[in-house]
Amino acid sequence: MEWPEKAPLLEKAPLPVDRPKAGRHGCASFSPRMRFGARPELDHNVSPCRPDLPMPSLVMKFGGTSVATLDRIRNVAQHVKREVEAGYHVAVVVSAMSGKTNELVAWCKDASAIYDQREYDAVVASGEQVTSGLLAIALQNIGIAARSWQGWQIPIQTDDAHGSARIVGIDGTALLDGFHTRGEVAVIAGFQGIHSETGRLTTLGRGGSDTSAVAVAAAIQAERCDIYTDVDGVYTTDPRIVPKARRLEKVAFEEMLEMASLGAKVLQVRSVELAMTHRVPTYVRSSFDDPKDPKPGTLICGEEDIVEQQIITGIAYSKDEAQITLRRVADKPGIAAAIFVPLADANINVDMIIQVVSDDTTTTDITFTVPTADFERAKTILEGMKAEIGYASLQGASDVVKVSAIGVGMRSHAGVAARAFKALAEKGINIRAITTSEIKFSVLIDSAYTELAVRTLHSLYGLDKA
Ligand code: ADP
Ligand code: ASP
Ligand code: MG
């Protein structure tokens, strides 16, 4: 398979060098990515470059279902063996066994309703410690030199936002030494890092092993980051709810970022951000394939590498959205600030906003959405400010869903969203709010209609498989 050449670097970097052709995939040359410290943003500041490596390296990430049992871990070891034999230095990033992190989170909550976030991280990071050790043992058992790495041992440095920490730097030296001097596969516990100043263990937020994997790939300048999961790629929509969903061969970074942000849980949003910034070709594929005969997956890559671009690439949905409507708010300057500044101060993200002027033209109704987790807090804040804001009543609904259509082709086509509004109306689906941007639009509807709406849009834009 031919891999697209990586885009040129935007920032200071060492000169490109050629690498030998890699086994099956044949990547003749590469552009090294940025040096450690080149960018100030968190999560973007990974890696020293080592352009002197004789062999290409590859990151392989395995999610919870892929390491759910010892048999599945042995199967993962066979996938790793295949790539080692193809001539790669391999860094593997593993999740906890499926269900394990949920169990650990529940234990923390059970131990105390209010708990120390640092201890929460100490508990929930343990799932990945187990699978990294087990996979190293399984690899050794089939004659592949391997060792486990915890986040702090590498180290993967993060900030101190316990429970959702961001990576601030990765020193790839120790991993590269393991490749170079001992010919060893590095089996890295995903989802975890260390806050250097306090020496405390941190975790990267749910689904964070994807981000660990892409960050390690950037840090060691891997040729590719392969994300092995329980589906064989990124689909036009969640294949669990739309059987007619199709696997996409390629998806642009920007589209994948929108799909992940708007609910497609196949990749953690931050992993896509990192892949886009560092131009890490990321390949989503199935760990359930025969390790000796792997099947194609989906390549997340630059838009320029996609030849046949559809107008709409995918449909996503998110139930993580709640609606608040303030009725009969005085229609005067400063009112939006009175409502939204206190919410922003409380770190509550407001997404869709619509304002409807009422018949008397002196008042207005304002509807907006907040994440479900912040719904009660947002209502409490606004109820406490009823007199200051001056509204007649507050109504809230959490049985809503945001359905979105994403595609870079929307940039050059008019009327794409209008077709959706018509199609949804024909199915009797009421739209509560709408937002649009350059490459996506979203509608807020009653959650009872989720599947019908997703299927309707999926067919409307010609995404159903034949
Ligand atoms: P892992 O445990 O390997 O990290 P996840 O459960 O996080 O796996 O992600 C894979 C799941 O993402 C799939 O089982 C699928 O139901 C869901 N998913 C949602 N949207 C999509 C999509 N557009 N394409 C593929 N999978 C999707
Ligand atoms: N085990 C963690 C979770 O379930 C991280 C991951 O799997 O990516 O969220
Ligand atoms: Mg995941």
**Same-domain check for residues 290 and 424:** no
Q: Supply the pLDDT for residue 443.
A: 97
**Same-domain check for residues 435 and 458:** yes
**Same-domain check for residues 295 and 344:** no
Distance 111 CA to ligand 1 centre (A): 30
Q: What domain count does the chain have? A: 2
**Final residue belonging to a domain, choices 278, 304, 330:** 304
What's the domain range around 328? 309-466
Q: Supply the pLDDT for residue 52.
A: 54
Backbone phi, psi, residue 160, to 5°: -105, 25
Taking the CA of residue 63 as reference, the ligand 2 atom at the shortest distance is 7
SS3 annotation, the chain: CCCCCCCCCCCCCCCCCECCCCCCCCCCECCCCCCCCCCCCCCCCCCCCCCCCCCCEEEEEECHHHHCCHHHHHHHHHHHHHHHHCCCEEEEEECCCCCHHHHHHHHHHHHCCCCCHHHHHHHHCHHHHHHHHHHHHHHHHCCCCEEEECHHHCCEEECCCCCCCCEEEECCHHHHHHHHHHCCEEEEECCEEEECCCCEEEECCCCCHHHHHHHHHHHCCCCEEEEEECCCCCECCCCCCCCCCCECCEEEHHHHHHHHHCCCCCCCHHHHHHHHHHCCCEEEEECCCCCCCCCCCEEEECHHHCCCCCCCCEEEEECCCEEEEEEEEECCCCHHHHHHHHHHHCCCCCCCEEEEECCCCCEEEEEEEECHHHHHHHHHHHHHCHHHHCCCEEEEECCEEEEEEECHHHHHCCCHHHHHHHHHHHCCCCCCEEEEECCEEEEEEEHHHHHHHHHHHHHHCCCCCC
**Same-domain check for residues 295 and 417:** no
What residues of the chain score a pLDDT lower than 50? 1-50, 53
**Same-domain check for residues 446 and 332:** yes
**Final residue belonging to a domain, choices 272, 304, 336:** 304
Distance 58 CA to ligand 3 centre (A): 19
Q: Supply the pLDDT for residue 73.
A: 98
Amino acid, res. 319:
K
pLDDT in tens, 50-77: 455 468 999 999 999 999 999 999 999 9
**Same-domain check for residues 316 and 280:** no
Assess whether the C-beta atom of 101 lies below 6 angstroms from ligand 2: yes
**Same-domain check for residues 253 and 320:** no
**Same-domain check for residues 104 and 225:** yes
**Among 158, 152, 160, 159, CA closest to 116:** 160
10 located within any domain: no
pLDDT in tens, 98-123: 999 999 999 999 999 999 999 999 99
Q: Which residues line ligand 1 (CB under 6 A)?
A: 63-66, 95, 207, 229-231, 234-235, 237-240, 264-266, 314
**Same-domain check for residues 220 and 358:** no
Q: Supply the pLDDT for residue 309.
A: 74
137 located within any domain: yes
289 located within any domain: yes
Choose the residue to mutate in 93, 227, 229 for probing ligand 1, maximizing ligand atoms within 8 Å of C-beta. 229
Choose the residue to mutate in 95, 202, 271 for probing ligand 2, maximizing ligand atoms within 8 Å of C-beta. 95
**Final residue belonging to a domain, choices 271, 304, 337:** 304
